[in-house]
Chain A
Amino acid sequence: MGLRDAVEGAVGMAVRLGRGMGVTLKNALRPPVTVQYPEYKEATSEHFRMFPALVVDEATDKLKCTACMACVKACPVDCIWIKGARDRDSKPYPETFYVDMSWCMECALCVEACPFDALEMAPDYELAGYDVRDLLMDKDQLAAIKRPPKTPWTRRKASYLEGPDEW
């Protein structure tokens, strides 16, 4: 190996390293792909699922659930607790309906098992809290979950951040 080879090797090395640096440079100059959470949030997609929520029948303003226990049987981790009862018209309804979010693994098997379409996967993912007991959701909480508008493939600003765009 002579001097010539050594020089060629060094030049080749520099060229290849330079190409790599070029990639970095190109990426340094383009807009960031990260989102400044929690000020900005990525919209979740249509199928995004987090935990089961109860569906309220719009016509009667009552829960669709009839306490048939199909979801309880379908749940692999047994995190749904229901106590059924009958109302004045002797129609069955869930007297209590608990879902423990700290156990739920978001598999949606309960939703598929429900013969009355009384469950739906809610896309709320901000469940963090200071007490694990807060994650035990009761009937009213599960029925009150608001599903955000579905805006696929866009970024939307968090709703509580009104005012001019500062970021």
Chain B
Amino acid sequence: MPQDDQARRPAAGPDGRPEGGMARQDPGVAAAAAIERERRAVARHRESPNPPRRALAGKTAGVKEMIVNMGPQHPSTHGVLRLVLRLEGEQITASDVDIGYLHRCHEKLMEAWSYHQIIPLVDRIDYLAAIACEHCFVLAVEDLLGVVPTERAEYLRVIAAELQRIVSHLLWFGTFALDLGAVTPFLYAFRERELGYDVFESFCGARLLYGYFRIGGVRNDFTASAWEKLDAFCDAIAASLPEYDNLVTNNPIFRARTRGVGVLTREQAVAYGCTGPVLRATGVAHDLRRADPYSIYDRFSFEIPIGERGDVFDRYRVRLEEIRQSVSIIRQARRDIPPGDVRGQAPRFIKPEGEVYRRVEGPRGEIGCYLVANGSERPWRCKWRGPSFSHLHTLNFLPRGAFVADLVAVIGSLDPVMDDVDR
């Protein structure tokens, strides 16, 4: 068990600054170190023994090898991801992922804020799946307190979480098509996504960062117009999915660009800790809503779509199918929802104690929250697990032998959110 806060604070050094750790570096030295790191990274690529998978020996003879930085400000890296690529012509022979450009100290901040205040903070960890992050954190705190959320709140939580999955997948669908050069699907996906955000706005007041879940319940009930909009949104999505299929899924050019590209085997996916659609695309039917049912997911019937080959196309198909399943879950929850209180009876001042790990199935995969509480108003430590972090690791080997244009498809299909990676 953790000691009290005092014990963790490092002793102050002679100049009043904490000793070790945070001592400030001379900027010149830091710059020199950065240049040296860069030089070594480049050298490592030069010496890397990985041969290109599809040997283009004859064609690339005489082509000079080249180290190319992709990102951190590259439109297809979905944020600030930097990839160091070793190229032979257009072909990638090695790649190295560099992350950390969006580090925002979330885990440390959590140690300074009270449990209620952390709820809007975890929203910002994966800002495209804010509800899923909230859900995870709230479950962890409820576990420590032994609080059971009210029945109606559970249904509203499931509706909000599935709505979040849909809008997150819609955003991914649009940007993924955009990565592959198709602008039109992006516009259509955003049209539907706006309807989804209208639903969010009408029941919790915000469009992206909700702060909707409360310990023991949710912030407020749906209004009549929120239900109306929810139904309209479900219908709109159900109507536009065939459009997406006609426009993108069945498009021969799209298929040619995604099939057999970025193949992740089942073993690799498991070894690298991939979860969510990336794992399911390799044929593993692992979904936390089934495998480790939390909230009230055991009451709904839905299918877990899986892929066969684990390539970019399978990841695409799994996500699109998940939208359909989520619509079905929302409709079931809408049908069965009981009346009652939604705020719950959790006290305002809470001081939980103990350790807990809770996980939920976010749109991108397993979101985990390891919470250590020592009986004070604030968590002693919170370790967050984001799915995108594990997925990005596969970029160390997935693009090998592929072309730069394929790499864009591979990154898009992993659906990374950089804030979820760096936190």
Chain A bound to chain B = yes
Instruction: Report A's interface with B, CB cutoff 8 A.
Output: 12-13, 16-17, 19-20, 22-24, 27, 33, 44-49, 74, 76, 105-109, 112-113, 121, 152-153
B205 within 8 A of A: yes
Q: Min CB distance, B54 to chain A, in Å? A: 22
B117 within 8 A of A: yes
Q: Min CB distance, A54 to chain B, in Å? A: 18
Given contacts A44-B201, A47-B204, A153-B202, 19 further A-B contacts (CB under 8 A): A12-B252, A16-B252, A17-B253, A20-B248, A20-B250, A23-B246, A23-B247, A24-B184, A45-B202, A47-B223, A48-B202, A76-B113, A76-B117, A105-B120, A106-B206, A109-B120, A121-B205, A153-B225, A153-B229
In the complex, how many residues of chain B place their beta carbon closer than 8 angstroms to a beta carbon of chain A? 35
B143 within 8 A of A: no
Question: Is the beta-carbon distance between B228 and A108 smaller than 8 angstroms?
Answer: no
Residues of B within 8 A of A24 (CB): 184, 247
Q: Pick the contact of A152: B205, B225, B248 (CB < 8 A).
A: B225
Question: Is the beta-carbon distance between B250 and A19 smaller than 8 angstroms?
Answer: yes
Q: Pick the contact of A47: B113, B184, B220 (CB < 8 A).
A: B220
Given A23-B246, A47-B203: A76 touches B121 (CB 8 Å cut-off): yes
Give the interface SS of chain B, mostly helix, strand, loop or mixed: helix
Q: Min CB distance, B40 to chain A, in Å? A: 40
Residues of B within 8 A of A16 (CB): 250-252
Which of chain A's residues has its CB closest to B182's CB? A20
B358 within 8 A of A: no
Nearest 5 A/B pairs, CB to CB: A45-B202, A76-B117, A47-B205, A49-B205, A107-B120
Which of chain B's residues has its CB closest to A9's CB? B252
Question: Is the beta-carbon distance between A108 and B247 smaller than 8 angstroms?
Answer: no
Instruction: Report B's interface with A, CB cutoff 8 A.
Output: 113, 116-117, 119-121, 184, 188, 191, 194, 198, 201-206, 209, 211, 219-220, 223, 225-226, 228-229, 243, 246-248, 250-253, 348
Mind listing 29 A-B residue pairs with CB under 8 Å?
A: A13-B252, A16-B252, A17-B251, A17-B253, A20-B246, A20-B251, A27-B188, A33-B194, A45-B198, A45-B201, A45-B205, A45-B223, A45-B225, A46-B202, A47-B203, A48-B201, A48-B205, A106-B209, A107-B119, A107-B211, A108-B205, A108-B219, A109-B116, A109-B117, A109-B211, A112-B219, A152-B225, A153-B202, A153-B225
Residues of A within 8 A of B184 (CB): 24
Q: Pick the contact of A105: B113, B209, B228, B246 (CB < 8 A).
A: B209
Q: Min CB distance, A117 to chain B, in Å? A: 15
Q: In the complex the two chains form, what is the Cα distance from A102 to B399 in whole Å?
A: 42
Q: Min CB distance, B348 to chain A, in Å? A: 8
Question: Is the beta-carbon distance between B202 and A152 smaller than 8 angstroms?
Answer: yes
